[in-house]
Chains A and B, each alone.
Chain A
């Protein structure tokens, strides 16, 4: 196979195709039971229980959304304070320059905006964008994942991964096919 780059362990491994969602779910549970942790599953529709079966996912998006919200909110408070106290103080009907109650609505809006922006942009990066290709796409038949294929990818960066042993473990689960991912 002609790949334009040397693929790293987290882009290699074995891709097994299963008959249906039930078989895939069983396989995931079986492999998790054997100690594998770096599993990825690809299905044409959301399969109930699959996310839990794949185990805890490292998801940093909530933290990113929180940080974005805090940055947007406190940044806007700071900006308003700077604008109306230091940069350009105006006496508005005798109210204090630092009109904190009046600063809050704008800060709230910016909290929401920044939380949403951080979440969406972070999600794109976490999904691997702007990258457009992946060794998985070189596996023949993988496009069936969006039609009727239920795939399980056992990644080579798994601590328990041994190419021959992992292949045997997968073969025991009676998949329709096993293909090598990456070179």
Chain B
């Protein structure tokens, strides 16, 4: 691994410039409606965190299980895992704006239920947790990148995955669950982690299969089939966890759990829920069931890209409903473009370096 800054291609430069412009527009909008824009920003940030962090998770899963799928995706996963420092930097607005963004950080909030949560939900501890969680993630990413040798990587990955599950749970509680402080769900951490693995796998499969320097000869039907199976497993795991969370809430019918679902199923947001069930779960599952579809590079790449894109809907579903007057704001796409534009800086060069190291 070279220590130099990666070379930035022309297109990545343009994307980053557009991203900076979009973020500047967000800032201008944010001066007028800080809560609304910070929520958009949190949504966009969580979306782009997923492929970076999920890649670390997938690299660890591969170190533990082995398999050709991981070797095929490795260059893209390594490049994506290098986005983590950027994502750590981009968390700063959320930390700075925590007082505005999170209902529990408002000192005037006269909600007696919040009193016994204050030991966890207070701004200094929130920032400490964010720093610790990111330090651990960066350490995991660095560790798994350096250990390509088999036995040491396995031990590291086994411990790392446990740590990953725990830290993702902390992150999910802090950055998603605490938006509705009265709500609690025991599934959310693992659900968010699975969604991140799905987003990372979708992006990595799409980039690896369609990449300009992907030799078509190396994409044998068997290899494509394996990648399709990985995507299918992740889609099913994600769908299963999300449905189980909904089912237990629906059965128990307790206020502390339904408080999160009510703005999602009793308003127009229910159409987003239906969209996710049909087009994020049922359709990709049906396509991936077919062996012919899995073994065709174009179909597989299309499904992978679609799963990645559809995660926009899912992260929106997690973060946005019920917290502001209007369902959508101009700052949503702006923040998404802003962080997304910066996300790709140096990605191509990193991936090529990893490809060459592998060859």
A residues contacting B by CB (< 8 A) are 93, 95, 101-102, 104-105
- B155 neighbours in A (Cβ, 8 Å): none
The CA-CA distance from A102 to B246 in the complex, in Å, is: 10
Q: Give the Cβ gap from A60 to chain B, nearest Cβ, in Å.
A: 14
Is there contact, CB below 8 Å, between A101 and B246?
yes
- B243 neighbours in A (Cβ, 8 Å): 104
Is there contact, CB below 8 Å, between B247 and A93?
no
Is there contact, CB below 8 Å, between B253 and A104?
no
Is there contact, CB below 8 Å, between B246 and A93?
no
Q: Give the Cβ gap from B97 to chain A, nearest Cβ, in Å.
A: 37
B residues contacting A by CB (< 8 A) are 243, 246-247, 250-251, 253
Q: Give the Cβ gap from A142 to chain B, nearest Cβ, in Å.
A: 32
Is there contact, CB below 8 Å, between A105 and B247?
yes
- A101 neighbours in B (Cβ, 8 Å): 246-247, 250-251
The CA-CA distance from A95 to B253 in the complex, in Å, is: 9
Q: Give the Cβ gap from B290 to chain A, nearest Cβ, in Å.
A: 9
Q: Give the Cβ gap from B171 to chain A, nearest Cβ, in Å.
A: 28
The 10 closest A-B CB pairs, nearest first, are A101-B250, A101-B247, A102-B251, A101-B246, A102-B247, A104-B243, A93-B253, A104-B247, A105-B247, A102-B250
Chain A interface, >50% SS class:
helix
Q: Give the Cβ gap from A144 to chain B, nearest Cβ, in Å.
A: 30
- A105 neighbours in B (Cβ, 8 Å): 247
The residue in chain B whose Cβ has the minimal distance to the Cβ of A93 is: B253
Chosen A-B contacts, 12 in total, with CB atoms closer than 8 Å, are A93-B253, A95-B253, A101-B246, A101-B247, A101-B250, A101-B251, A102-B247, A102-B250, A102-B251, A104-B243, A104-B247, A105-B247
- A95 neighbours in B (Cβ, 8 Å): 253
- B250 neighbours in A (Cβ, 8 Å): 101-102
- B251 neighbours in A (Cβ, 8 Å): 101-102
The residue in chain B whose Cβ has the minimal distance to the Cβ of A52 is: B221
- B246 neighbours in A (Cβ, 8 Å): 101
The CA-CA distance from A101 to B244 in the complex, in Å, is: 9
The residue in chain B whose Cβ has the minimal distance to the Cβ of A100 is: B250
Most B CB within 10 A of own CB, among A101, A102, A105: A101
Q: Give the Cβ gap from A166 to chain B, nearest Cβ, in Å.
A: 32
Q: Give the Cβ gap from A7 to chain B, nearest Cβ, in Å.
A: 35
- A102 neighbours in B (Cβ, 8 Å): 247, 250-251
The residue in chain A whose Cβ has the minimal distance to the Cβ of B249 is: A101
The CA-CA distance from A104 to B239 in the complex, in Å, is: 13
- A104 neighbours in B (Cβ, 8 Å): 243, 247
The residue in chain A whose Cβ has the minimal distance to the Cβ of B246 is: A101
Q: Assuming A93-B253, A102-B251, A105-B247, what are 9 further A-B pairs, CB within 8 angstroms?
A: A95-B253, A101-B246, A101-B247, A101-B250, A101-B251, A102-B247, A102-B250, A104-B243, A104-B247
The CA-CA distance from A95 to B249 in the complex, in Å, is: 13
The residue in chain B whose Cβ has the minimal distance to the Cβ of A92 is: B251
The residue in chain A whose Cβ has the minimal distance to the Cβ of B244 is: A105
The CA-CA distance from A102 to B250 in the complex, in Å, is: 9
Q: Give the Cβ gap from B7 to chain A, nearest Cβ, in Å.
A: 42
Q: Give the Cβ gap from A44 to chain B, nearest Cβ, in Å.
A: 23
The residue in chain B whose Cβ has the minimal distance to the Cβ of A65 is: B289
Q: Give the Cβ gap from A76 to chain B, nearest Cβ, in Å.
A: 16
The CA-CA distance from A3 to B71 in the complex, in Å, is: 56
Q: Give the Cβ gap from B287 to chain A, nearest Cβ, in Å.
A: 14
The residue in chain A whose Cβ has the minimal distance to the Cβ of B289 is: A66
The CA-CA distance from A95 to B247 in the complex, in Å, is: 13
Q: Give the Cβ gap from B9 to chain A, nearest Cβ, in Å.
A: 40
The residue in chain A whose Cβ has the minimal distance to the Cβ of B253 is: A93
- A93 neighbours in B (Cβ, 8 Å): 253
Q: Give the Cβ gap from A84 to chain B, nearest Cβ, in Å.
A: 14
Q: Give the Cβ gap from B78 to chain A, nearest Cβ, in Å.
A: 32
The CA-CA distance from A137 to B251 in the complex, in Å, is: 60
The CA-CA distance from A172 to B276 in the complex, in Å, is: 61
Q: Give the Cβ gap from A38 to chain B, nearest Cβ, in Å.
A: 24
Q: Give the Cβ gap from A102 to chain B, nearest Cβ, in Å.
A: 6
The CA-CA distance from A45 to B57 in the complex, in Å, is: 38
The residue in chain A whose Cβ has the minimal distance to the Cβ of B221 is: A52
The CA-CA distance from A95 to B250 in the complex, in Å, is: 10
Q: Give the Cβ gap from B285 to chain A, nearest Cβ, in Å.
A: 12
The CA-CA distance from A104 to B250 in the complex, in Å, is: 13
The CA-CA distance from A93 to B250 in the complex, in Å, is: 12
The CA-CA distance from A45 to B253 in the complex, in Å, is: 57
The CA-CA distance from A93 to B252 in the complex, in Å, is: 10
The CA-CA distance from A101 to B252 in the complex, in Å, is: 12
- B247 neighbours in A (Cβ, 8 Å): 101-102, 104-105
The CA-CA distance from A101 to B246 in the complex, in Å, is: 8
The CA-CA distance from A102 to B247 in the complex, in Å, is: 7
Q: Give the Cβ gap from A39 to chain B, nearest Cβ, in Å.
A: 22
The CA-CA distance from A42 to B35 in the complex, in Å, is: 71
